[in-house]
Chains A and B, each alone.
Chain A
Amino acid sequence: MKDLLGIPRRIAAISRNTFIEAARNRAFVGLGIAAMGLVASSMAVSSLAIADQMARVLIDFGLFAISLLEVVIAVTMGVILVYKEVDKKTFYLVLSKPIRRSEVLAGKFFGLVGVLAIAVLLMTVAWVGSLILRSVPLKPDMPQALVLAWLQAVLITSVALFFSSFSSPILSGVFTLGVYLAGSSVPVLNDLLSLKKGALASSEAARFVAQTATAVLPDLSIFNVGKELILGIPISWGYVGAAGAYCLGWCLLFFGLACLIFERRDFA
């Protein structure tokens, strides 16, 4: 199986191209500018707050903005990752090369994961800059929180890739955002389910939907540690590692399903 050695090489070649595409894409550059704008606006918001609340707003809002923008990048770029190549027919050239379709998908996935990592780094620079400007003391657990924000976006990328392997970009975007919103509210749903009163207690149907959602969707709340960061509750690297494993598991599932569908497609 000398072919095994070729797998990482081929995946890397596709990732490289995906990365170059993002870097040369005006929309992505625009998104970077938007990120800067958000950080700047968090500074503006913070100046409206009462003095002792300023640090809290800057940290909370900053992390939230980074995490949300990561998801926006993951969704917008994730849903067109495959679609664009089919639509622009560039796949004819790539898929007729000695490369497996799953390797092409993996390459595109890792390319976007790399883009998300760069985006987190750039936004972190802006965030830390805004904190230093306002002389807000940095929190020691900020790196863990940022890695978690990135992991969440990676998971969302795999969801976007899965949906876009069989539906249009717009539908995939809607589905992926749905998974993001529902996945972020898994703990809320669980709380509601444990109550003896309320909508979920009175309606069998609603209860069933909520139960199914909490069972089949990834719990994204584990990636959101804004509260812990502000309250100074330590976020251990062990926790980050566990979250990484959780992310990996879901990625493998969604990626595997995307490959199964992609493998059967005709590129006519």
Chain B
Amino acid sequence: MDDVIVVDGLRKVFRTPFRRRRVEAVKGVTFSVRRGEIFGFLGPNGAGKTTTLKMLVGLIRPSAGRASLLGGDPGAIEVMSRVGFLPEQPYFYDYLKPTELMDIFGRIFGIPKAERRRRIDMLLDRVGLADSKNRILRKFSKGMLQRVGIAQALLNDPELVLLDEPMSGLDPVGRREIIDLIAELKSQGKTVFFSSHILADIERLCDRVVILHKGVVEHAGTIQELLASGDRKEILVSGSFPGDWARLPGIHGIDRMGPQVTRLLVESGFANDILRALLDARMEILQVADRRISLEELFVRTAGVGPVGAKEVTS
């Protein structure tokens, strides 16, 4: 398999120079992204997604570990000329018009003039800015700026596109347009790696995902795999169980519905064993149903409740 992103034991410790404080934002993250897939990067606020993305494009140097992009080093000229990047909440030279901004970037990429013009027009139209191309960026709304950010990330027709929260700030139509755009990039054989908090979008688009939590990879795999690992079955039984329910392995919930009827929530992998035990105890199985977990449930279960972000410790 052809891996376009390989992240191996990546770590980042931020140090505040004078207060002798340190924050370990990313704690040894390992994963890889294959060519042609749409890869989702999830995690609660402060999980370390943006920090990881910045290490991938060479804005931040890792404290330890390695990252490679398209077989080269993050930030290297040969690599970055084939990569597109949308930072979180992109900031622009607000004295420029979108066309001028894109023109400067096009010059850095070394795209010839005619081609540059053509692509700039095409991309600004594509993100819905056809009517505001020649307005100064200072006067753009948040969602309009986000669209400029997406357009500039595609200027060099990149093989690999890294997007930090691409849907943020967009209206429902804009969000839909970006979903279509990402799907279109995939159909062109490009690889897309993006972070998002909008789980429905991730579920709809992504081939594989990583869930990061407090700088650590908590889950990784295809969406089906992840959801299967959290899948439950609901068993409705009648009769009395001779013994302790809780002794049975894989039981997640016991609900007494009446004097005779009990509802059990069990881990799918253990369902057969539990059913056998119930039958052996001469109980009557009334109903067995799938209780599929949503990505949102999995996410909430991973992130839990409590403070977000990495802890600051005195070194």
How many residues of chain B have a CB within 8 Å of chain A? 32
Docked-complex contact A13 and B95, CB < 8 angstroms: no
Contact B107 A3, beta carbon cutoff 8 Å = no
How far is it, in angstroms, between the C-alpha of A66 and the C-alpha of B96 when the chains are bound? 30
Q: Determine how close the nearest CB of chain B comes to the CB of A11; give it in whole angstroms.
A: 10
Contact A93 B77 (CB under 8 A): no
For the complex, is A97 an interface residue (Cβ under 8 Å from B)? Answer: yes
Q: Is the CB of B91 within 8 A of A9?
A: no
Contacts A93-B90, A93-B152 given: A9-B57 contact, CB under 8 Å?
no
B60 within 8 A of A: yes
Measured in the bound complex, the distance between the Cα atoms of B61 and A21 in whole Å is 29
Q: Which of B54, B75, B78, B96 contacts A20 (CB 8 A)?
A: B96
Interface membership of A191, Cβ < 8 A: no
Least Cβ–Cβ distance between B160 and chain A, in angstroms? 12
Whole-angstrom distance from the CB of A245 to the nearest CB of chain B? 31
- Chain A residues with CB under 8 Å of B57's CB are 96
| Chain A residue contacts of B221, Cβ below 8 A | none
A16, A17, A266: the one within 8 Å of B59 (CB): A266
Instruction: With CB as the reference atom, state the residue of chain A lying closest to B61.
Output: A266
- Judged by a CB distance under 8 angstroms, whether B206 is at the interface is no
Give every chain A residue within 8 A of B248 (Cβ-Cβ): none
Across-interface contacts of A89 in B (CB, < 8 A): 87, 91
* Chain A 139-174: CB-based contact to B (< 8 A → 1; otherwise 0): 000000000000000000000000000000000000
Chain B CB within 8 A of A10 CB: yes
Chain B positions 246-280 with a Cβ under 8 Å from a chain A Cβ = none
List the A side residues contacting B79 at CB < 8 Å: 98
Which residues on the A side are within 8 Å of B100 (C-beta)?
Answer: 20
Give CA–CA (A237, B4) in the complex, Å.
57
Main secondary structure of the interface of A (DSSP, over half): helix
Complex-state Cα separation, A17 to B108, whole angstroms: 11
Q: Tell me the total A-B contact number using a CB cutoff of 8 A.
A: 88
Nearest residue (CB) in B for A89 is B91
Q: Which residues of B contact A21 (CB under 8 A)?
A: 93, 95
Are A96 and B95 in contact (CB-based, < 8 A)? no
**CB atoms of B95 and A9 under 8 A apart:** no
Task: Contact check, B87 vs A92: say whether CB atoms are below 8 A apart.
Answer: yes
Cβ–Cβ contact B107 & A13, under 8 A = yes
CA distance A256 to B243 in the complex (A): 78
CA of A255 to CA of B98, assembled, Å: 31
B54 near A268 with CB under 8 A, answer: yes
The chain B residue sitting closest to A265, CB to CB, is B61
Q: Is A201 an interface residue (CB 8 A)?
A: no
The answer to whether B92 touches A93 (Cβ under 8 A) is yes
* B241 contact set on A, CB distance < 8 A: none
Q: Which residues does chain A contribute within 8 Å of B108, judged by CB atoms?
A: 9-10, 13-14, 94, 97-99
19 extra A-B contacts, CB within 8 A, seeds A6-B110, A96-B87: A10-B107, A13-B104, A14-B104, A16-B107, A17-B96, A20-B96, A88-B91, A89-B91, A92-B59, A93-B91, A96-B58, A96-B75, A96-B83, A97-B80, A98-B109, A266-B59, A266-B60, A267-B60, A268-B54
Residues of A within 8 A of B (CB): 3, 6, 9-10, 12-14, 16-17, 20-21, 24-25, 88-100, 264, 266-268
A-B contact pairs, 15 of them (CB 8 A): A6-B110, A14-B108, A16-B104, A16-B107, A20-B95, A20-B96, A90-B92, A93-B85, A93-B87, A93-B90, A93-B149, A96-B83, A99-B108, A267-B60, A268-B60
